[in-house]
Amino acid sequence: MNRRELLKNIVALTGFSLIGGEFLISGCKNEAAGSRTFTDKDLTLLNEIGETIIPATDTPGAKAANVAQVMKDVVSDCYYPAHQKAFFDGIKNIDIAAKNKFQKDFLQLNPEQRHKLLVDLEKEAKAFNEKRNEADKIRREKFDEENQKLPPGEQKLFQEAPPHYYTLFKQLTLLGFFTSETGLTETLRHISVPGRYDGDVPYKKGMPAWE
């Protein structure tokens, strides 16, 4: 699985193109990115959220892939300030959601409680993102109308409003896991390139996907 294909899969799984994906693909840093600091507690929390999304089974989960480090790098280098704010607000809001449902911070929840909380957040994110999409459609129409009046050299890029914070966490968990050595070699079946083409590989039930 190459990076472009992974980004397409992230769209399919989260309903959103990867936030900051244009900078990730080009290998460039977003010059408009603001300055945000991740604490050790933030990274621990993000790894545990990732582990709830992709738990360890007979293969390692998101925590083994240290998805928090990828989250840190992408948010720091590829996000616009508005998206960075949404992400960091999400770090606070997931503890608020955990306290409202279980009277504990996320890190104090057991695996079953964490799973139930993220199921709720998945539903909340879907409703939030649908409203956000409708609002952005109106904003984009107005923006495009005004942008077309500007000379070509002065036209601006439309900045989409941030999706729900859980969508950001989920996107970066998928990205971090499936670009890690753990995800590539222990979850997907990995063949070094170049390799030979075999158009008739016998399939065995439970066989993991090729990457």
CA distance 51 to 64: 8
pLDDT of residue 44: 98
Q: Kindly report which listed range (9-18, 21-30, 56-65, 182-191) carries the lowest average pLDDT score.
A: 182-191
CA distances from 20 to 1, 10, 94, 102, 168 (A): 19, 13, 22, 33, 10
**The two structure tokens encoding residue 195:** 């390799």
Residue 130 confidence class, pLDDT cut points 50, 70, 90:
very high
pLDDT of residue 59: 86
Which comes out higher in pLDDT, residue 103 or 204?
Answer: 103
**3 state SS of 210:** strand
Q: What is the dihedral of CA 27, 63, 169, 2, to 10 degrees?
A: 40
172: how many CB neighbours lie within 10 A of its CB? 29
- Average pLDDT (166-171) is 95
pLDDT digits (tens, 9 = 90+) for 77-94: 889 899 999 999 999 999
pLDDT of residue 143: 78
Reading phi first (left if > 0) and then psi (alpha if -120 to 50, else beta), residue 175 is in: alpha
**What single-letter amino acid sits at 81?**
P
H runs (alpha helix) in 79-110 = 81-102
pLDDT of residue 47: 98
pTM: 0.76
pLDDT digits (tens, 9 = 90+) for 102-126: 999 999 999 999 999 999 999 999 9
Q: Judge residue 133's burial from the number of C-beta atoms within 10 Å of its C-beta, 0-12 exposed, 13-18 middle, 19 or more buried.
A: middle
- Average pLDDT (89-101) is 98
**3 state SS of 69:** helix
pLDDT of residue 98: 98
**What single-letter amino acid sits at 204?**
K
- Average pLDDT (200-209) is 53
